[in-house]
Amino acid sequence: KSVIVRAPCSTANLGPGFDVFGLALDAYYDEIQVIKKGKEIIIESSDSIPLEPAKNSAGLVIKEMSKKFKIKSGLLIKIKKGVPAGFGMGSSAASAAAAAVAFNALFELDLDHNTLIEFAGIGEKASAGSIHYDNVSASVLGGFVIVRTDPLDVLRIDPPKDLVLCVAIPKISVPKKKTEVSRGVLPQQVKLSDYVKNLSNASAITTGFIKKDVELIGHSIKDIIVEPARKHLIPGFDKVKSGALQAGALGVTISGAGPSVISFTSKFADHKKICKAMKKGFASANTECITVICRP
């Protein structure tokens, strides 16, 4: 018996929604097949990922779920990575989400969404060092998600059909523990007035998703806390952002923990022009990038 699950990549934060907002993107997918076989948990993949279950985001999820549900059978996990790893596109989360959903289906556990997300979150820890549920929630549920913790309770909203994203993925070598590094530069305390501005924009983004108002979403992608602390990790960030805005993007920010940069646009924008502007911004810092135009 075996199950195959494909999970999408995602962008986290959307500016002011640090660790709270996630959006699944129809750009790249990870595929996981889980097969009942033998006595051990074994990972097979032709991609360069850790094959030891405890060091692999999908393997860790399957290991923990097997323990929790007292599964005696061994499992063969076949992983096909489609999401580029380490670029702020929720790569480890996509594998972790696919693994949790596949395990749930294989053993007919009928787990609810929050429980699935909780298990998928364990996999995130393998690569990010800390548990945050924004990317895994988006990969499990699709669409726009709002993560509430203590207790975990993820809300989901259907994104507007005319929202289009332009993502620029720079060709730079990212540190092994990239998310840890990019979380390490964040302030431990924030100014109350900054918090108020970010909260108002985050609220406006949520309203934009509820009202299917792409302009409101795009114009509220403004983060004065996390983006300023992280942008020095991304070569040419200011030029990438200003170029994209000039070319017609409604809002531009770091995708998740970076280094990819994401532009929020309407379907009427000139997406090729926006991608070109983002490429030019990276080129100003001698960095090449690939660009992707996608929808949620």
List, by residue number, the catalytic residues. 124, 179
**Three-class DSSP category at 75:** strand
Of the candidate spans 11-19, 62-70, 245-253, 269-277, the one that interacts with ligand HSE by CB under 6 A turns out to be 11-19
Binder among 56, 179, 263, 291 for ligand HSE (CB under 6 A): 179
227 near ligand HSE, rule: CB under 6 A: no
Q: Minimum Å distance from CB 246 to ligand HSE?
A: 26
103 near ligand HSE, rule: CB under 6 A: no
Q: Minimum Å distance from CB 53 to ligand HSE?
A: 22
Cβ distance 209 to 160 under 8 Å?
yes
Residue nearest ligand HSE by beta-carbon distance: 256
Distance CA 10, CA 255 (A): 9
213 near ligand HSE, rule: CB under 6 A: no
* List of residues 6+ apart from 175 with CB closer than 8 A: 181
Number of residues this chain uses to bind ligand HSE (CB under 6 A): 11
In degrees to the nearest 10, what's the CA dihedral of 52, 54, 58, 61?
150
Query: How many angstroms separate the first and last alpha carbons of the chain?
Result: 32
Report in angstroms the alpha-carbon separations of 154 from 35, 70, 117, 173, 205. 29, 27, 8, 33, 16
Q: Which of residues 25-54 bind ligand HSE (CB under 6 A)?
A: none
Of the candidate spans 131-139, 140-148, 239-247, 283-291, the one that interacts with ligand HSE by CB under 6 A turns out to be 131-139
